[in-house]
């Protein structure tokens, strides 16, 4: 199946996984940092909200690398678009458009609601797919294994409900 | 700092081209219809795990400083937060990294997902002391873990 962005099939999963492992290990070996992206949400919050939670060491020290890293993520997505079909803004959302529809406003509301759960959930869990799922599980940390099983369960139940029951 | 932008750019490019930042592939994973994402995460873990083991045995970064890995604490938020995040991941078809990647790709709805995620993280940090007890979270100075 082609990607929504490039209209061509994705690169092989083994190659993608190897690159992700390489970046994760480089981050530790070159900069002594453990991969983790969801804390960048708190880094941004720390610039906007004056709450003691955002003044703790993990944010003040970590945002020096995480903010440049997530700027890189945006840049990586931009280059990926630019070097394929060319960069142009899009509302395309694949099977969501085919089966659920809504309009732009509905899509925005749906995404905002999903985002709320992502922001609150990842911070309550102490990490996301990268920090828990890849780094934590690779480092054999029990909290990471528990969190990973939990978010996979949450995702599986939700998608099955949305696409096999509600919008069937 | 340039190093982090570069590593992020590589990471973002790979997420973009592999399907990890693609709504259809995320749903395909949760529907058990596509192996792609399981292959990506599985390979990443299968290679990162021995890599970490070697780096920790070696014990030093490239500049010779001791490697320090702050472990994440165990608490009730792991399950509750994980479940909530899973619902959000399914709805948006993005986890935190791909939110940024999708914005870079020009997917306009990803901006709404980022706004929601920032509000969600903002609410969490603001009410930390109130959820700390019920979820047995660590003291505020430590937080739930850097990840």
pLDDT above 90: residue A133? yes
Q: What is the pLDDT of residues B104-134, one digit of tens each?
A: 999 999 999 999 999 999 999 999 999 999 9
* Residues of B in Cβ contact (< 8 Å) with A120: 81, 84, 120-121, 123-124
Interface test with A, best of B33, B73, B97, B142 (most A CBs within 10 A): B97
Is residue B78 a contact partner of residue A125, using CB atoms and an 8 Å limit?
A: yes
**Tens of pLDDT along B46-101?**
999 999 999 999 999 999 999 999 999 999 999 999 999 999 999 999 999 999 99
Q: Mind listing the pLDDT tens digit for each residue in A20-32?
A: 999 999 999 999 9
d(CA A42, CA A59): 7
Mean pLDDT of A40-68: 93
Q: What is the pLDDT of residue A57?
A: 87
Q: What is the pLDDT of residue A101?
A: 86
The pLDDT value recorded for residue B48 is: 98
Task: For residue A119, count other CB atoms closer than 10 A to its CB.
Answer: 32
Nearest CA in chain A to B128: A53
Distance CA A160, CA A145 (A): 22
């Amino acid at each position: 199946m082609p990607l929504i962005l490039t209209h061509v099939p994705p690169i092989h999963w083994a190659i993608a996984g190897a690159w992700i492992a390489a970046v994760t290990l480089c981050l530790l070996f070159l900069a002594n940092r453990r991969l983790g992206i969801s804390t960048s949400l708190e880094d941004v919050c720390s610039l906007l909200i004056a709450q003691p939670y955002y003044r703790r060491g993990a944010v003040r020290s970590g945002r020096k690398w995480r903010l440049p890293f997530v700027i890189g993520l945006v840049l990586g997505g931009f280059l990926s678009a630019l070097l394929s079909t060319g960069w142009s803004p899009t509302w395309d959302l694949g099977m969501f458009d085919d089966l659920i529809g809504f309009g732009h406003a509905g899509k925005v509301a749906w995404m905002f609601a999903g985002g709320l759960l992502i922001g609150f959930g990842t911070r309550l869990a102490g990490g996301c797919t990268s920090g828990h799922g890849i780094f934590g599980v690779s480092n054999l940390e029990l909290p990471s294994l528990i969190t990973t099983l939990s978010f996979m369960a949450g995702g599986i139940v939700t998608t099955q409900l949305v696409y096999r029951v509600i919008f069937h | 700092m340039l190093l982090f932008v570069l590593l992020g750019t590589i990471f973002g490019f790979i997420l973009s081209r592999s399907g990890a930042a693609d709504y259809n592939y995320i749903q395909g994973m949760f529907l058990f219809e596509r192996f792609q994402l399981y292959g990506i995460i599985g390979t990443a873990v299968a290679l990162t795990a021995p890599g970490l083991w070697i780096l920790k045995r070696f014990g030093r970064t490239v500049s010779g400083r001791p490697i320090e890995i702050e472990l994440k604490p165990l608490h009730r938020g792991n399950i509750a937060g994980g479940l909530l995040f899973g619902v959000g991941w399914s709805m948006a078809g993005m986890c935190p990294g791909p939110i940024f990647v999708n914005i870079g790709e020009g997917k306009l709805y990803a901006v709404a997902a980022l706004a929601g995620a920032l509000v969600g993280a903002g609410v969490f940090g603001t009410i930390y002391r109130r959820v700390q007890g019920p979820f047995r979270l660590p003291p505020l100075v430590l937080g739930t873990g850097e990840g």
